[in-house]
Structure 1
């Protein structure tokens, strides 16, 4: 039986920090309510320690930005590197097993 103490308190945490290179991006669009929306995909490559061993990690992460952050992210081009912070959510009610990182903050790395 696992017991979490201190740092790993069971609550409603949902935070992701990841960096990667933009490999796909949509054009900036607007919702019917006029909110800017930008969708992109990054590829992430890193080496992590898992169970005391080095593990190479490669993945693609779908991301979505809304509002001011979408407008600020609009100039980003394919090939640029981003450090990203956000939360994950289902792509839609119909595709609940497909996750998308909703951006709250980003920083250009190149």
Structure 2
């Protein structure tokens, strides 16, 4: 199974473009900073990954505020030039806005 779920923030967003099939596409750079447990020991992991949103998912991707954490899900595929991978985002769960005291 090729499925990736990543807590990250958008640090770069390209201009909306269209695929040859006419679908909207949006290039993103995501930054993830987390702490995981490896071999029973904590490890800090910081990474940037190239991502793309294609189709209907471009609408919510365009509304994300740069630097605000969200959860992204999707799959990995080879990049167009064959060097490295690109995270194809298929769903986004943005954080709920903070409620105002009333």
- Map of 1:26 onto structure 2: 14
Which of 99, 106, 109 in structure 1 is aligned with 2:85? 99
- Where do 5+ consecutive residues of structure 2 fail to align? 98-102
**In structure 2, what is the Cα distance between the partners aligned to 1:54 and 1:76?**
30
Q: Is the 8 A contact 2:16 2:26 kept in 1?
A: yes
For 1:65 and 1:54, the matched residues in 2 are separated by: 32
Cα distance in 1 between the residues matched to 2:3 and 2:21: 27
Q: Deviations over 1:53-106 (max 9, x none)?
A: 1100000011101010113322223222220100000112x32x4111101111
TM-score in terms of structure 2 length? 0.86
Q: Is the 8 A contact 2:78 2:86 kept in 1?
A: yes
Q: CA RMSD in A?
A: 1.3
17, 25, 41: which one pairs with 1:37?
Answer: 25
Question: Which 4+ runs in 1 deviate beyond 4 A?
Answer: none
Partner of 1:88: 76
Given the two structures, how large is their TM-score scaled by the length of structure 1?
0.80
- Aligned to 2:15, the other structure's residue is in SS state coil
> Which residue does the alignment assign to 2:4?
16
How many residues are paired up?
96
- Name stretches of at least 5 consecutive residues in structure 1 with no aligned partner: 1-12
8 A contact 1:21–1:80 mirrored in 2:
yes
Specify the structure having the higher radius of gyration (Cα): 1
